[in-house]
Amino acid sequence: IHRLEKGLCFPSGKELFAEKYIEETVSAYHCATENHLHDTGELEWARSVLKRYFATVSIQNERVVSAYQRYLDIENESDGGSLALTPFEFGSIPKVKESWGEEFISLCESRVSCRWFEEKKVPRSKVEYAVNCATQAASACNRQPFQFLLIENPELKSKIVSLPFGTAGFGTDLPHLMMVVGDLSNFPLERDRHLIYIDSALATSQLLLGFTAQGLASVPINWPDVEVNHRSARELLGLENYHVPIMLVGFGIPLEQAKIPYSEKKGVEALLKTYD
């Protein structure tokens, strides 16, 4: 679906594209409409894009014709959904406000790893706000091959938090614990197996900023790649073999007097290398 959207975004417009994979795409869409495992918004997006695709390309190529017939069978007598969730113009995005630049760097600088929290719980709406920040992150082909597991059950939480090695002294006191889990079932090709790490990291970064933006604090916790720990986590949380724990995130309402390691950051000169 994402590839179809890219084709639809070409400035010059294209009469024919995706002929090599449109049959596979329609077939995957069919599967998704039947198995009820998909997010409803995501499915509506797929529906919208397919409708736009078949309204745009010229339906003459043999493979496009065959995919179109299959598509019509699936959509049956419905109108195929709206065209709303399809490519839009950059200019229609709300304009960036001038003040955002300064405010954003302040937000970035305010995010620190905090390990000491009040005993109070964070309202659910604040957790959902942070996850909503995370879901806006870029991900390869928009697959978003991850989930955030909020582990509130005290017994489960203490078992999970003691599995990695970096939580000594503070792990069991964390008011909230989340596990970021990658989902390898998104990838048919072995060569893409690293994407669960990249996409999770990009999303988790936004999750952490989402907590910061609401006056909360967090600490990411390394999940070492130790098979026995993966297995324990899968067993405790009822995960499948294709679910890979990526990291833990502790979060909550920070204690005002909590001590924060200074953690001096590298300067821009050290990180930015330019090839003129």
Ligand X SMILES: Cc1cc2nc3c(=O)[nH]c(=O)nc-3n(C[C@H](O)[C@H](O)[C@H](O)COP(=O)(O)O)c2cc1C
What is the binding site for ligand X (CB under 6 A)? 112-113, 115, 166, 219-222, 247, 261, 263
Q: Which two tokens stand for residue 123?
A: 């309202």
**Minimal distance in Å, beta carbon 113 to ligand X?**
3
Residue number with CB closer to ligand X (14 or 265): 265
- Distance in angstroms (rounded) separating the CA atoms of residues 218 and 118: 12
Packing angle of the helix pair 227-237, 154-161 (nearest 10 deg): 170
Nearest to 110 by CA among 210, 220, 199, 200: 210
**Minimal distance in Å, beta carbon 205 to ligand X?**
9
Residue number with CB closer to ligand X (145 or 245): 245
Supply the DSSP symbol for 210.
Answer: H
Residue number with CB closer to ligand X (91 or 261): 261
**Minimal distance in Å, beta carbon 87 to ligand X?**
34
**Minimal distance in Å, beta carbon 106 to ligand X?**
14
Look up tokens 């499948």; give the residue.
Answer: 240
Packing angle of the helix pair 40-56, 62-75 (nearest 10 deg): 130
**Minimal distance in Å, beta carbon 119 to ligand X?**
19
Q: Which two tokens stand for residue 231?
A: 């297995």
Closest residue to ligand X using C-beta atoms: 166
Residue number with CB closer to ligand X (107 or 141): 107
Residue number with CB closer to ligand X (27 or 232): 232
Q: Which two tokens stand for residue 263?
A: 């953690």
